[in-house]
């Protein structure tokens, strides 16, 4: 039998459906979340993957069993749930999505009343209630009610277009031709609809909202072949790909080349800082190009641990204007403090319109780094190996500055290396980024060899 897979973290409760994640567990988490909140309503939405319906019914059962009213917003991007929580003054929210994980996975993402990921302290309380099964089950006449609201994608789009950092007039005048690959996920409706409101001519591929992923769903260059072809075929200005819950956005330039998901955040930061001075917060896995661009615009830059909750927490602490995660996750706290592919798309088009250059030319103006991101199965003695690696790091990397907040990150003269275990999968991730292609490649091979 395959070992059941269930990964619990502040990023959510993720597992393989039928082998780790099952409706009984999900109902208990619904009851635990409702018991933690005690009263009020909870917004529940999901991405489009076919297991979503089962998980949604189970989590709603748990919530209403403890007297919580549920607003079911249907198939929506994760950021739409976050916006609905705030808009409805709800006590919390749950989005059912395993984000970029393949279709055998599903997950629960929890949000508190601010529409942001629950804090580590809230997560601890939630798990304590879950483990002890301290559920506030209600009698038959006091269970919660379920209502459906289908308008939250429209509201999300409307709010996105009200954001002051995008130059709508200039964007609309450009009438950009955009190919969208939503991997048949929750961005299938929202992203094309918003782009049309920006007067873009939109060509939709993989936007049927079925949750049947036509390729691996993570929007990284190797999974964007279809989008690349379509951009060339239709002579589009840009290709946009989102992950299944549409909080991340990756771009393909007008020549059909993926520019790497890192540059979505870089361009969004550039655009926001063009309009206003402020602080930038990015995570420790984010390309240095974003830091460079932010600093060139006079911004202070702070690094946080990986994971939306960690980035947002630091954004609040530093009163950040803009930031996010280099995996295509743009966060604009004055709009809402969560990764959002819609605001990312609007900011990128605004940047293109302001710079008056094709995307490939705009990318040429940015500092150039060579980055390799790899992942491998997590060895049992990972922590021990990390300690050993740190001891010998100077031999490989020369003089380094070490950051131990999230795995290990070594900054050295020519770049940086980060090794960390994933929050969402039983793997470890390695990122090597330097100003030299051969050096990046050599270091990647050497570090992977050490850990495997």
Catalytic site residues? 99
Q: Using the Cα atoms of residue 351, residue 353, residue 359 and residue 364 in order, give the sign of their dihedral.
A: negative
By C-beta, is 186 or 198 nearer to Mg ion?
186
> Residue written as tokens 């003695």?
381
Q: Is residue 99 within the footprint of Mg ion (CB under 5 A)?
A: yes
Task: Determine contact, residues 124/8, Cβ cutoff 8 Å.
Answer: no
Q: Give the integer Cα–Cα distance in Å for 37 and 34.
A: 5
The CB-nearest residue to Mg ion is 99
By C-beta, is 183 or 272 nearer to Mg ion?
183
Q: Compute the least distance from the CB of residue 47 to Mg ion, in Å.
A: 8
By C-beta, is 68 or 309 nearer to Mg ion?
309
Q: Compute the least distance from the CB of residue 184 to Mg ion, in Å.
A: 14
CA atoms within 13 A on the CB side of 45: 30
By C-beta, is 243 or 340 nearer to Mg ion?
243
Task: Report the candidate in 24, 100, 105, 30 with the shortest Cα–Cα distance to residue 68.
Answer: 30
| Helix 262-275 with 288-296: angle, nearest 10 deg | 10
Considering only 156-164, 240-248, 293-301, 349-357, which stretch makes contact with Mg ion by CB under 5 A?
240-248
Take residue 374 and report the two structure tokens written for it: 């790899």
Q: Compute the least distance from the CB of residue 105 to Mg ion, in Å.
A: 12
By C-beta, is 20 or 77 nearer to Mg ion?
77
Q: Give the integer Cα–Cα distance in Å for 346 and 104.
A: 32
By C-beta, is 181 or 247 nearer to Mg ion?
247
| Beta bridge partner(s), residue 86 | none
Q: Compute the least distance from the CB of residue 49 to Mg ion, in Å.
A: 12
Q: Compute the least distance from the CB of residue 248 to Mg ion, in Å.
A: 5
By C-beta, is 116 or 245 nearer to Mg ion?
245
* Rounded-to-10 torsion of CA 177, 179, 185, 189: 30
Take residue 192 and report the two structure tokens written for it: 């094309």
Among the listed residues 69, 82, 237, 245, the single contact to Mg ion using CB under 5 A: 245
Q: Are strands 408-412 and 401-403 parallel, antiparallel or unpaired?
A: antiparallel
Q: Is residue 243 within the footprint of Mg ion (CB under 5 A)?
A: yes
For residue 172, how many other CB atoms are within 10 A of its CB?
A: 15
Q: Is residue 308 within the footprint of Mg ion (CB under 5 A)?
A: no
Q: Compute the least distance from the CB of residue 21 to Mg ion, in Å.
A: 17
Considering only 53-61, 243-251, 360-368, 377-385, which stretch makes contact with Mg ion by CB under 5 A?
243-251
Total residues binding Mg ion (CB under 5 A): 4
Q: Compute the least distance from the CB of residue 441 to Mg ion, in Å.
A: 29
By C-beta, is 79 or 192 nearer to Mg ion?
79
Q: Compute the least distance from the CB of residue 220 to Mg ion, in Å.
A: 12
Considering only 26-34, 242-250, 318-326, 351-359, which stretch makes contact with Mg ion by CB under 5 A?
242-250
Take residue 398 and report the two structure tokens written for it: 């020369």
Interaction mask 53-92, Mg ion, x per CB under 5 A = ----------------------------------------
Considering only 39-47, 167-175, 179-187, 244-252, which stretch makes contact with Mg ion by CB under 5 A?
244-252
Considering only 142-150, 238-246, 274-282, 414-422, which stretch makes contact with Mg ion by CB under 5 A?
238-246
Considering only 49-57, 95-103, 106-114, 233-241, which stretch makes contact with Mg ion by CB under 5 A?
95-103
Name the site residues for Mg ion (rule: CB under 5 A). 99, 243, 245, 247
């Amino acid at each position: 039998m395959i070992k059941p897979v269930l990964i619990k973290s502040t990023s959510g409760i993720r597992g393989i459906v039928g082998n780790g994640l099952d409706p009984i567990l999900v109902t208990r988490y619904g009851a635990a979340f409702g018991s933690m909140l005690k009263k009020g309503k909870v917004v529940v939405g999901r991405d489009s993957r076919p297991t979503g319906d089962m998980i949604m019914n189970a989590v709603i059962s748990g919530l209403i069993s403890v007297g919580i009213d549920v607003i079911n917003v249907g198939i929506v991007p994760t950021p739409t749930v976050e916006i609905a929580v705030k808009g409805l003054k709800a006590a919390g929210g749950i989005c059912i999505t395993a984000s970029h994980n393949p279709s055998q996975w599903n997950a629960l993402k929890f949000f508190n009343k601010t529409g942001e990921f629950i804090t580590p302290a809230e997560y601890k309380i939630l798990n304590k209630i879950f483990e002890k099964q301290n559920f506030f089950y209600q009698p038959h006449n006091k269970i919660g009610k379920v209502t459906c609201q289908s308008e939250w994608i429209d509201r999300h789009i409307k709010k996105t277009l009200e954001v002051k950092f995008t130059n709508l007039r200039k964007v609309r005048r450009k009438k950009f031709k955009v190919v969208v690959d939503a991997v048949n996920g929750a961005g299938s409706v929202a992203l094309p609809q918003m782009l049309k409101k920006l007067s873009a001519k939109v060509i939709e591929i993989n936007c049927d909202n079925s949750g049947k992923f036509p390729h691996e769903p993570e929007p990284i260059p190797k999974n964007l072949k279809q989008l690349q072809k379509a951009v060339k075929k239709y002579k589009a200005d840009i290709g946009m790909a989102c992950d299944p819950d549409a909080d991340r956005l990756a771009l393909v330039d007008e020549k059909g080349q993926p520019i790497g998901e890192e540059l979505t955040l870089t361009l969004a930061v550039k655009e926001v800082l063009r309009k206003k001075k402020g602080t930038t917060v990015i995570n420790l896995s984010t390309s240095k190009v974003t830091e460079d661009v932010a600093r060139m615009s006079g911004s202070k830059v702070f690094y946080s641990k990986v994971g939306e909750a960690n980035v947002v927490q630091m954004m609040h602490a530093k009163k950040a204007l803009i930031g996010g995660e280099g995996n295509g996750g743009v966060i604009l706290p004055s709009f809402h403090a969560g990764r959002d592919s819609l605001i990312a798309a609007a900011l990128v088009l605004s940047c293109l319109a302001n710079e008056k250059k094709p995307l490939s030319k705009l990318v040429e103006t940015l500092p150039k780094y060579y980055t390799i991101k790899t992942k491998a199965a997590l060895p049992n003695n990972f922590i021990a190996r990390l300690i050993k690696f740190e001891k010998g790091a100077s031999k490989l990397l020369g003089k380094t500055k070490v950051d131990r907040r999230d795995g290990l990150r070594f900054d050295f003269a020519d770049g940086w290396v980060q090794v960390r275990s994933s929050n969402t999968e039983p793997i470890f991730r390695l990122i090597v980024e330097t100003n030299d292609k051969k050096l990046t490649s050599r270091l990647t091979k050497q570090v992977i060899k050490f850990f495997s």
